[in-house]
């Protein structure tokens, strides 16, 4: 009996050790060997909206200071790209290489070409001013999904929202009118889709939850499923299907919605995250007044 008991204890101990080693190896499965979070630039008011350009450059916003900045993949420098910028918040590049911006100053969605010419894609819904486009994602068809929460800004003249609900919208490629895709959120914020355009993730930061959807052929959303009991300001994905949420640092969930890693950031709030660089293996993190990077083993997706 004692022998069997000892064998049982050994079996349990061995299983626990394997689990411990497996958990300890998780960071190296995603993060490059010996990589650490690096401060790239600081002294901003509030950084947001990182987006990777086709050549690997990363654009981000200093929203309160009304400017878009650019990190160069060529020489690892940061420079002012556009000022003023319509109080740009979330950014994303479309398939033609145009920079799309949630221009918060007048609650618009902008397209910015390589010469910095601005086209206003949308600024209302059925004649009513949008709450404030916040974050966006472009599907393989060129359509734009975006979130529209209401955050009262000091530079707005209005004090109340024109639209009662804070919705998730879709702007089809080449169209001028947006369509409501989800209207049951407290406050939608972060949004990201997978590479083939079959899945969409949307954070309800107001309800501290993140959901996944199946994207139907007509761009409508179906099969709403609770993905994580955590809201998120910004989001991204890697080529393994893992989803990166922000707020308290960066929290990574596998495709099943299981938390597999937390990346602490020495700031009280992490706003957004994306992959960038020439090989898409650098994680860019905007947090409060700073921009950080972390070298990864996995790659981002576009």
Output the CA–CA distances (angstroms, integers) from residue 252 to 232, 240, 255, in the order listed. 11, 11, 10
Q: What are 106's strand-pairing partners?
A: none
Domain assignment present for 282: yes
Q: 3-class DSSP state for residue 54?
A: coil
300 occurs within a structural domain: no
Residues 16 and 164 in one domain: no
Residue 108, H or E segment: strand 108-112
Residue 25: what pLDDT?
39
Hey, what are 145's tokens?
Answer: 């999904």
| Mean per-residue pLDDT of the chain | 91
The count of other CB atoms within 10 Å of the CB of residue 226 is 11
Q: How far is CA 139 from CA 136, 143, 173, 242, in A?
A: 10, 5, 9, 18
Q: For residue 126, tell me if it sits in a domain.
A: yes
Residues 261 and 216 in one domain: yes
CA-closest candidate to residue 283, choices 291, 273, 271: 273
**Hunting for tokens 């959303």 — which residue is that?**
221
CATH of the domain at 195: 2.120.10.30
Confidence of residue 28 (pLDDT cuts 50, 70, 90): low
152 and 291 co-located in one domain: yes
- The closest of 213, 163, 174 to 191, measured between CA atoms, is 213
Whether residues 145 and 3 fall in one domain:
no
Whether residues 154 and 21 fall in one domain:
no
Q: What integer is the mean pLDDT of 134-151?
A: 98
DSSP category for residue 2: H
Task: Give backbone dihedrals phi and psi of 7, rounded to 5 degrees, phi first.
Answer: -60, -40
> Is 301 inside any structural domain?
no
Q: How many domains does the chain have?
A: 2
153 in a domain, yes or no? yes
Average pLDDT over residues 282-300: 97
Please check whether residues 107 and 19 belong to one and the same domain: no
Separation of alpha carbons 159 and 102, rounded Å: 20
Same-domain pairing of 41 and 24: no
Calpha distance 25→249 (Å, rounded): 20
Q: Rounded to two decimals, what is the model's pTM?
A: 0.91
Is there a domain that residue 138 lies in? yes
**Together in a domain, 88 and 106:** yes
253-273 pLDDT, tens digit each: 999 999 999 999 999 999 999
- Answer yes or no: do 21 and 69 share one domain: no
Q: How sure is the predictor about 302, in pLDDT bands with cuts at 50, 70 and 90?
A: confident
Determine phi and psi for 167, rounding to 5 degrees.
-110, 170
* DSSP structure class, residue 65: G
Residue 229 and residue 151 share a domain: yes
Tell me how far apart the alpha carbons of residues 242 and 248 are, in angstroms, rounded to a whole number: 18
* 158: in domain: yes
Residues 96 and 15 grouped into a single domain: no
Examine the domain organization and report whether 263 and 244 are in the same domain. yes
Residue 60 domain flag: yes
List the beta bridge partners of residue 155: none
Question: CA 73 → CA 41, 43, 54, 213, 233, distances in Å?
Answer: 14, 21, 11, 33, 25
Mean pLDDT of 170-177: 95
- Judged against a pLDDT cut of 50, whether residue 66 lies above it is answered with yes
Confidence at 23, pLDDT banded by 50, 70, 90: very low
Cα 45 to Cα 213: distance, rounded to the nearest angstrom: 34
All residues at 6 or more sequence positions from 19 whose CB lies less than 8 Å from its CB, including other chains = none
Give the range of the structural domain holding residue 135, as residue numbers without chain letter.
35-295
CB 297 within 8 A of CB 29: yes
């Amino acid at each position: 009996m004692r022998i069997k008991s000892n064998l049982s204890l050994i079996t349990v101990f061995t299983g626990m050790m394997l689990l411990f080693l497996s958990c300890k190896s998780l960071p190296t499965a995603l993060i490059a060997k010996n990589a650490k979070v690096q401060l790239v630039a600081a002294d901003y008011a509030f950084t947001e909206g990182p987006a990777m350009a086709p050549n690997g450059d990363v654009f981000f916003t200093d929203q309160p200071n009304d400017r878009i900045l650019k990190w160069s993949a060529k020489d690892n420098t940061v420079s002012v790209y556009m000022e003023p910028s319509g109080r740009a918040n979330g950014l994303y590049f479309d398939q033609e290489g145009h920079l799309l911006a949630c221009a918060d100053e007048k609650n618009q969605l902008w397209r910015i070409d390589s010469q910095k010419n601005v086209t206003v894609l949308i600024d209302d819904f059925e004649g009513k001013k949008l709450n404030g486009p916040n974050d966006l994602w472009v599907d393989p068809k060129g359509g734009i999904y975006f979130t529209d929460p209401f955050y009262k800004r000091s530079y707005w003249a209005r004090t109340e929202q024109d639209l009662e609900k804070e919705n998730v919208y879709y702007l089809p490629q080449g169209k001028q009118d947006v369509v409501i895709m989800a209207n049951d959120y407290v406050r939608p914020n972060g949004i990201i889709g997978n590479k083939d355009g079959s899945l969409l993730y949307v954070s309800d930061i107001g309800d501290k939850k993140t959901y996944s959807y199946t994207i139907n052929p007509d761009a409508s959303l179906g099969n709403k499923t609770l993905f994580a009991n955590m809201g998120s300001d910004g989001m991204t994905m890697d080529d393994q299907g893992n989803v990166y949420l922000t707020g308290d640092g960066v929290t990574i969930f596998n495709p099943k919605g299981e938390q597999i890693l937390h990346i602490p950031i020495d700031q009280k709030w992490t706003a957004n995250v994306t992959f960038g660089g020439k090989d898409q293996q650098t994680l860019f993190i905007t947090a409060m007044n700073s921009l950080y990077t972390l070298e990864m083993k996995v790659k981002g997706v576009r």
